[in-house]
Amino acid sequence: MAEAPTDGVMRGVPLRRPDKQHYFLLIALAARTRADCLGRRVGAVITREGRVLSTGYNGTPFGMPNCSEGGCHRCSLRDDDRLRGGAYDVCICVHAEQNAILTAARFGQQILGASLTSTMQPCFGCLKEMLQAGVVEVRYLHQWDPAEAYGDQALVAQYAALRARFQTFEQVGDPAMDTPDLFGGFLARPHS
């Protein structure tokens, strides 16, 4: 097993210490590795005052079969065009952002005034829940276009109104760096 670098260099490449926003993004990316969705895997982290309060990833509720085990009807019908880009309200899976909020609540973590970093721009429902929970900053890696997703100008306007309620709502990081082998060396090893 290779030893961890002590001189700030790994395999001849200088390491740089990430700023807090990129550090939290890396944690959200790590949380995403636990997601079992057959479509899009998402991870999220809630922080306050520069400290991690909670993490979450998308998947079925506790005690339910995972998506890969047939637990999600929506995942099992991935090729059904009627469910593409919608029907999230009838999907059994809990979104990463929801899971992070619920995990914080479950363990008594106050998230009023907190920040949330996600690997994906949050959906309409998650934005509502974050506002209600008191999250004030939202950062995400991958963005999407609400006009394309919703196809309804009234919903697009409501999404924009929700976004405007946050002190910060911005993209962080470079989506091009999010490659399938990002954590490959860790995930390919047998569990010990």
User: 16-38: string of b/e by CB count within 10 Å (b at 16+)?
Assistant: eeeeebbebbbbbbbbbeebbbe
Q: Which amino acid is at 149?
A: A
Residue 49 appears among annotated catalytic residues = no
Long-range contacts for 63-70 (Cβ within 8 Å, ≥24 apart)?
Answer: 64/92, 66/36, 67/36, 67/37, 67/38, 67/93, 68/36, 68/38
Tell me the sheet residues that pair with 13.
10
Element of type H or E holding 140: strand 137-142
Residue 74 contacts residue 90 (beta carbons within 8 Å): yes
Q: Active-site residue among 97, 137, 148, 170?
A: 97
Active site residues per annotation: 97
